Structure 1
Amino acid sequence: MPRTSQHPKADTFNFRIDPDLKAAFTHATEAEDKPAAQVLRDFMRSYVERQQRKAFELEARRQSLAIARRSRNPSTDEHASLQELEALFDETAIDDDSAK
């Protein structure tokens, strides 16, 4: 008989677990009327997303620090861009002060 589910058949993931932890987990999922397997899949997705977010944040920090280092060198484009931005902010501050 063909599979009627919209989701393709998935791999299984077998692991050992302390019997007390399994009983407590099963009790907790039953109390919320959720299948234990679904809760585990949700946890796994959440964990993967957190790891991806952490990797993204680390890369963003690395790039920010690299740009900050380059911006301190007067011969770089980053330094020139920051000088232009500072000049624009100074102009904006002058315009704001004169409007008062």
Structure 2
Amino acid sequence: MSRASQHPKAETFNFRIDPALKFAFTQATESEDKPAAQVLRDFMRSYVERRNRKAFEAEARRQSQAAAARAHDPRSDEAQSLKELGTVFDEDHFGDEWKA
């Protein structure tokens, strides 16, 4: 009977490291009773998540700037939407809360 695992087969990642850094890292992980490999995997996941978040934020910024640039054209959908929002805020009592 084959063994079923919820984790895919792991791969090895080899790299060179300064012996003093390896010793210090090993001491730090042992003092926290954590396997060094697990800490490295956590660092890698964090790095990938941070990179993905930065890429997402950069794309959101690009799209926002593009929409803002289009809003300068009074015939654009963006300009029309902003005009409609302004009208809604002017008509509602909560509108003053949102004005800068």
| Corresponding residue of 1:57 | 57
> Closer, same or farther in 2 for the Cα pair 1:72/1:52, shift >3 Å?
same
- What are the superposed Cα offsets for residues 10-32 of structure 1, whole Å, 9 maximum, x if unpaired? 11000000000000000000000
TM-score w.r.t. structure 1 length? 0.87
1:95: how far off?
Answer: 8.3
1:94: how far off?
Answer: 8.1
Name which of structure 1's ranges 7-16 and 57-66 shifts more when overlaid on structure 2: 7-16
Letter in 1 for 2:80: A
Query: How many equivalent residue pairs?
Result: 96
Which ranges of 4 or more aligned residues in structure 1 deviate by more than 2 Å?
Answer: 1-6, 93-96
| Corresponding residue of 2:14 | 14
**In structure 1, distance between residues paired with 2:84 and 2:67:** 16
Superposition CA RMSD, Å: 2.1
| Corresponding residue of 1:28 | 28
> Closer, same or farther in 2 for the Cα pair 1:95/1:4, shift >3 Å?
closer
| Corresponding residue of 1:88 | 88
- What are the superposed Cα offsets for residues 8-67 of structure 1, whole Å, 9 maximum, x if unpaired? 321100000000000000000000000000000000000000000000000000000000
Give the % identical residues: 71
* Structure 1, unpaired ranges of 5+: none
**In structure 1, distance between residues paired with 2:56 and 2:43:** 20
**In structure 1, distance between residues paired with 2:73 and 2:38:** 53
Specify the SS of the correspondent of 2:63: helix
Name which of structure 1's ranges 38-47 and 85-94 shifts more when overlaid on structure 2: 85-94
> Closer, same or farther in 2 for the Cα pair 1:15/1:2, shift >3 Å?
farther
Letter in 2 for 1:55: A
Specify the SS of the correspondent of 2:92: helix
* Structure 2, unpaired ranges of 5+: none
